[in-house]
Structure 1
């Protein structure tokens, strides 16, 4: 992939994120909107904001990148021929979205045969966008443009860890998660994809989650790795397919958390 190709992918990703901002903000904290339960787990909601956001992004890709594949949460797989796939989560954190909490986001990832190579994490309401891949690691927000860089962790006992659900995963997964949670200084919940953005921005040390899908992780993996962090599954292997994910600010805190997860 040459520099022109990389610039074209980045430009398209930002156009997608801009379109998704328009669609999601039409509904966020506004008039009542239709809400459905997908029936996956205890409560798995989807709204018209999710669907209209993904439709808008797919329409742009059909025009600008017709040879690329698409994997989206709401409308599934569209095959491509280029070897690249756009991995879209049009509203990551729908439970937060429907509750008026601005911790949801739009995830736009690109992967090839080996895994994620580029990603955007966008928070339309706050106006923050986190970008990683192709030699770029930066965020744009109310303070302007800043580089993204994970921090050097102070060690497991002084670490801050994020996760979305305190009742994480199965009983076995919850027990493994607690082994880490009981050793760190601070655990906070409910951040959805914004937690991964905070890790890339150097604000926290760990994000540990389970039960994830590829569209939940493609963009965060690219952003965190571009910022100097490490993302694996709970055994230290690739995490691009979702499932159990461990994201860490540096190698030392990753090794400590991985040992505890393995028990």
Structure 2
């Protein structure tokens, strides 16, 4: 697979999955609670999630039958293949069912277990953030441009995002708050959009817990392509998800890790 072929195919996946999702947005769609059935917090899935992932799976299987797939809604197919796609049809489903536009479709590609391409597509707004680890780009209503993180040297000057501290365990929440009390501005919500705003140079730090592999793998090439850093709370590659720290600058990343690991 050439870089050009990957880029064109991912953009096609984004277009087709967006066409499957948009008829459901801000409508009376059916919502199922995946979390409640397992005794966990509210974890919604919609008809739009399933429709979009089915479209992308069919396209991948038709074009690359030897490739594997990691999907939010329909599990694993050939996860040990050399090329594996990571799909999250609607990252930010709670925003989606609330009619808020802070959600997106995540599409990632791993080669030999390393993320080599990723995209976040927001079809309602018409924005795409994508990268290959070496560079990252934006395409949307504001035109096209390269994505670059900003150089924030001090935690005290940083803008911090997390989806919600309520998603964290009590001990994790306390550690997060140890970082939060030192930043310039802390905001909640955003899901995948927060990570893209780091790549765009508008946010400096994202701290999360409880992520799945398909939540983070597609975003790694975008953030790193823009010059950012993505690790777990111990400073390792977060390919399996879990507790994640994303920063635009190495200085802020190191300062956050010190407070998360007192």
TM (norm. structure 1) is 0.95
Q: 1:248 to 1:85 in 2, by over 3 A?
A: same
What CA distance in whole angstroms lies between the structure 1 residues aligned with 2:81 and 2:157? Answer: 45
1:6 aligns with 2:26: no
Q: Secondary structure at the match of 2:24?
A: coil
Q: How far, CA to CA, are the matches of 2:61 and 2:205 in structure 1?
A: 37
Residue deviations 1:90-128, cap 9 Å, x none? 000110000000000000011123421110011111111
Q: Shift of residue 62 of structure 1?
A: 1.2
Q: Which residue of 2 aligns with 1:27?
A: 24
Q: CA offset at residue 11 of structure 1? A: 1.3
Distance 2:165 2:234 in 1: 21
* Aligned residue in 2 for 1:54: 53
Q: List 4+ stretches of structure 1 deviating above 4 A.
A: none
How many residues align? The count is: 259
Structure 1 vs Structure 2 CA RMSD = 1.3
Q: Is the 8 A contact 2:134 2:224 kept in 1?
A: no
Matches of residues 241-252 of structure 1 in structure 2 within 5 Å? 241-252=240-251
What is the 5 A alignment of 1:55-134? Answer: 55-79=54-78, 82-133=81-132
Matches of 2:166 and 2:134 in 1, distance apart? 37
Looking at structure 2, the residues matched to 114 and 179 of structure 1 have their Cα atoms a distance apart, in angstroms, of 33
CA–CA distance in structure 2, aligned partners of residues 224 and 139 of structure 1: 12
| 1:209-224 correspondence runs (5 A) | 209-224=208-223
Please list the CA deviations of residues 22-69 of structure 1 after superposition, one character each: whole Å capped at 9, or x if unmatched: 111010012x11110012521000000000000000111111111110
Structure 1 unaligned spans of 5+: none
Quick check: 2:82–2:113 contact (8 Å CA) kept in 1?
Answer: no
**Secondary structure of 1:67's match?**
coil
Give the secondary-structure state (helix, strand or coil) at the position aligned to 1:153: coil
- TM-score under structure 2 length normalisation: 0.96
- CA change 1:245–1:12 in 2 (3 A) is same
Determine the C-alpha separation between the residues in 2 that align with 1:46 and 1:131: 25
Alignment of 1:221-236 (within 5 A): 221-236=220-235
1:154, distance to aligned residue in structure 2 (A): 4.1
